[in-house]
Structure 1
Amino acid sequence: MSDFSYDPFDPAVMADPLPYYRVLRDEHPVYYLPKWDTYALSRFSDIWDALRITDGTFVASEGTLPSAAVLQRHNSGPVADPPLHPMPFHANFDSPVYESVRRCTSSPFRPRSAAGWAERIRTLANERLDELLPRGTFDLTQDYGGHVAAAMVCEFLGLPVELASEVLAAVNAGSLAQPGEGVEVANSRPGFLSYLTPIVERRRAEGADGSVPIADSLINFVLPDGSTLSDSEAATQMLGVFIGGTETVPKVTAAGLWQLAEHPDQLAAVRADLEHNVPIAREEILRYTAPAQWFARTVRRPYMIHGTTIQPGQRVITLLASAARDEREYPNPDAFIWNRPIERLLSFGHGQHFCLGVHVARLEVTILMQEWFRRVSDYRILSESASRPPSSFQWGWNSVPVDVHAEGG
């Protein structure tokens, strides 16, 4: 790396970004990418401080995960919010539209509501294990965590749980990225909306009485100009739950079980008290394995960092995965330590766009691991067959095959 350059869409970066992140943190904490007119922030504290600013300095009007096609268009000044109609995903708006629509989708994910899902998640996990364990060999990401997470998304949105496998496959296909381009969600959106728009149509016909909270809230939502959302616009606002609720938890769970299998002493310590120790280990697993690499903002007001002034219209990408390996925040960050003290975590973001489903996601990872350890006395990760496709965004293990020996069978 003597002739160092960083680009999130570079095939070499997409295949393994971690060495690049170390150079960025040590030598280029504010790194300019002239091709995209974008600055990359790589240190934990810099990202934490930037994301906590909610005064309009940073906006997501070009998307929180813009593709190369978006970034190649350079701006000459501040970028306005998009028009209300046809309404794009609400994360593209600044306050108050963003927060108002977000509240429509939040009711199942508030702390008290999230806790109420525990038994349902536990039931789904055990039903899935009942089916998988007799096989002996299966995929941790897709067959176990992926199926349970997708089933929960179906529950949240009002889809039949029987569609979980289809939902999982659709989201997996939509998160793949091509070198040089990044993830282009717009290409997958029609497929996603084919599941979501009929929900809105059905609920509108049935009266949207609140019994399907997310869809009904969006149908009844009134925008600041007095207008309401069309069926397709309301469905578009459900994409965050549909995608985010499906793709991250399975990758985190599978990678966490893999890390513990590679550290038998740590695995034994976690097994010694599942109720107490799995939630502790979960936080280190989130730090060490969370697959999201970065999110973007567009600057609306001048922002100075490390002597560099980022001008309105330019972009900032916050490298969350780099922050997770920052030795300034985490001593010996490349080591997996199940009970590492963690005071701050960026795996769910920070500030205005903090992950909507954080409480449910933590609960799902915890229960998936607890039920796994209760039912599986021994397992071996078939690492030679694991798959981690190159990606500018969700750089996670899409496939983690495992061989199991279940207790009593």
Structure 2
Amino acid sequence: MAERRDDAWRMLMARPEPAPMDNGLAVTSLAAVKAVLKEPNRFSAKKAFDAVETGYPLIPLAFDPPEQTHYRRILQPFFGPRRIRALEESLRAQAIDLVEAVKARGGCDFVADIAVPFPAQALLTLLGLPLADRDRFIESKNAALELTADAAGELTLTDEERAARVEQTMALGNYLGELIQTRRAQPGDDILSEILAIDGDDHLSDTEAMGVCLMLVLAGLETVTDALSLAMERLATHPGRRRELVEDPSLVPAAVEELLRLDPPAPFLPRVTTEDVEIAGCPVPAGTLVNTHLTTANRDETCWPRPHDIDFHRPDNPHTSFGVGVHRCLGTHLARLEMQLLFEEWHRRIPEYAIAEGTSPRARLVRANIGMESLRLTIPTA
């Protein structure tokens, strides 16, 4: 997975379905993935997220219908295409500033210099917060995710490291809690203020509002960072595809979809069966963890000819990378906008780039997310 992730996905696709895992089963085909994700009452997201310690419910991610339906109905209008497009001018200017900075230096670590800060700035912009808060926001987010990985056995922290991460995570909670109180008392011209202003049956308590904010931070930032880093690694190692974007910028939206198809940043979505079910003819008892593998589903050759190839000219690209069914990603439009703006402005200003000599980019799979550890790029000077 670290060095040849395409081979890893091919190996998984070659196994019988459902494939046994250490603590459950994996479904890999497009048909099975869709079947599981479209039946939230039989395959529960809430039960899968019960083990994730955040202190607050991740709304609407960690709920099943009808609660999930209620929260989704409240939040959906604030994340639709028209509302997100209103951020385009500001986010484009921010993307240009980040790209120009690395261009001036003649190289960068794309992950640290672009893929990490840009999504953080986008979320701060969405919430109407100063970009000066970016770095401490990122540090607190990383601390919270590392604690989650430590609890899941995917990362080992020393007692001292764990205590420091707890302190940073508490700082994030305090930051968001103070933000909610400030926005209730003095609403601003931002989406959070509008969400908090909802009254009647749809009014969100402070606890629910915190759950929404944490969902945006923990489920939104890392995925876009990883999507950007994986996509750029593909482009850096496929100069022919990169040149297509330089010569025809109108291809960028299709390129984003194709790169997301090949590399979903959250490559599998966990569910837990609520009753005895059958998957691909195999009986599965209630209480079984079932991981739906989006990356393998996205390489179904009956839907995508030459599924392992990069092709920016596919007539249709109905990938599953944002999920399927009622839990389809709430931040889809924001993530797409971030990726499109960044790749438009990067290739307009930096048509030539390459992986730095002597470096070997590696992907890392942790916390059910996959992304590049780092991606050092060199940029030829004029």
Bin for the TM-score computed over the shorter chain: 0.7 to 0.9
Alignment partner, residue 213 of structure 1? 191
Alignment partner, residue 58 of structure 2? 89
Deviation at 1:362, TM superposition (A): 1.0
Q: Deviations over 1:22-72 (max 9, x none)?
A: 344333211244x53x22111122102221234x222222244956x9xxx
- In the alignment, the residues of structure 1 paired with residue 226 and residue 195 of structure 2 have an alpha-carbon distance, to the nearest angstrom, of 30
Indicate whether 1:309 and 2:287 are aligned.
no
- Structure 1 residues 103 and 182, CA gap change in structure 2 (3 angstroms): farther
* AA matched with 1:282: V
1:47 to 19, 25, 33: 33
Alignment partner, residue 181 of structure 2? 201
Alignment partner, residue 29 of structure 1? 17
Q: Which has the higher helix share?
A: 2
Alignment partner, residue 128 of structure 1? 98
Deviation at 1:399, TM superposition (A): 1.6
- In the alignment, the residues of structure 1 paired with residue 231 and residue 201 of structure 2 have an alpha-carbon distance, to the nearest angstrom, of 42
Indicate whether 1:181 and 2:188 are aligned.
no
Contact 2:56/2:210 (CA < 8 Å) preserved in 1?
Answer: no
Indicate whether 1:271 and 2:257 are aligned.
no
Aligned pairs for 1:163-178 within 5 A: 163-176=133-146, 177=149
Deviation at 1:246, TM superposition (A): 1.6
- Structure 1 residues 195 and 107, CA gap change in structure 2 (3 angstroms): farther
Q: Deviations over 1:271-321 (max 9, x none)?
A: 2210x2111111111112222121111222433221123333222211112
Aligned pairs for 1:179-328 within 5 A: 181-182=153-154, 190-206=170-186, 208=187, 211-218=189-196, 220=198, 229-230=205-206, 232-274=207-249, 276-328=250-302
Deviation at 1:354, TM superposition (A): 0.4
- In the alignment, the residues of structure 1 paired with residue 45 and residue 212 of structure 2 have an alpha-carbon distance, to the nearest angstrom, of 15
Contact 1:294/1:320 (CA < 8 Å) preserved in 2?
Answer: yes
Deviation at 1:257, TM superposition (A): 2.8
* AA matched with 1:45: A
Q: Deviations over 1:106-134 (max 9, x none)?
A: 44420111222221211111122233221
1:117 to 87, 100, 104: 87
Alignment partner, residue 380 of structure 2? 405
- Structure 1 residues 172 and 180, CA gap change in structure 2 (3 angstroms): closer
Please list every run of 5 or more consecutive structure 1 residues that lacks an aligned counterpart in the other structure. 1-12, 70-85
* AA matched with 1:133: K
Q: Secondary structure at the match of 2:369?
A: coil
Quick one: percent identity of the two aligned structures? 26
* AA matched with 2:361: A
Alignment partner, residue 161 of structure 2? none
Indicate whether 1:60 and 2:45 are aligned.
yes
- In the alignment, the residues of structure 1 paired with residue 348 and residue 227 of structure 2 have an alpha-carbon distance, to the nearest angstrom, of 19
Deviation at 1:200, TM superposition (A): 0.7
- Structure 1 residues 313 and 374, CA gap change in structure 2 (3 angstroms): same
When normalised by structure 2's length, the TM-score is 0.84
- Structure 1 residues 336 and 243, CA gap change in structure 2 (3 angstroms): same
- Structure 1 residues 243 and 200, CA gap change in structure 2 (3 angstroms): same
Contact 1:255/1:397 (CA < 8 Å) preserved in 2?
Answer: yes
Contact 1:170/1:191 (CA < 8 Å) preserved in 2?
Answer: yes
**Alignment coverage as a number of residue pairs:** 368
- In the alignment, the residues of structure 1 paired with residue 140 and residue 315 of structure 2 have an alpha-carbon distance, to the nearest angstrom, of 37
1:338 to 312, 326, 348: 312
Contact 1:278/1:366 (CA < 8 Å) preserved in 2?
Answer: yes
Q: Secondary structure at the match of 2:272?
A: strand
Alignment partner, residue 162 of structure 2? none
Structure 1 stretches of 4+ moved >4 Å? 13-21, 64-67, 186-189, 218-224
- Structure 1 residues 65 and 319, CA gap change in structure 2 (3 angstroms): farther
Contact 1:175/1:183 (CA < 8 Å) preserved in 2?
Answer: no
Q: CA RMSD in A?
A: 3.2
Alignment partner, residue 354 of structure 1? 328
Please list every run of 5 or more consecutive structure 2 residues that lacks an aligned counterpart in the other structure. 157-164
Indicate whether 1:158 and 2:128 are aligned.
yes
Indicate whether 1:388 and 2:363 are aligned.
yes
Contact 1:16/1:390 (CA < 8 Å) preserved in 2?
Answer: no
* AA matched with 1:249: V
- In the alignment, the residues of structure 2 paired with residue 371 and residue 305 of structure 1 have an alpha-carbon distance, to the nearest angstrom, of 45
Indicate whether 1:142 and 2:112 are aligned.
yes
- Structure 1 residues 353 and 367, CA gap change in structure 2 (3 angstroms): same
- In the alignment, the residues of structure 1 paired with residue 370 and residue 237 of structure 2 have an alpha-carbon distance, to the nearest angstrom, of 20
Deviation at 1:233, TM superposition (A): 4.1
Deviation at 1:350, TM superposition (A): 0.8
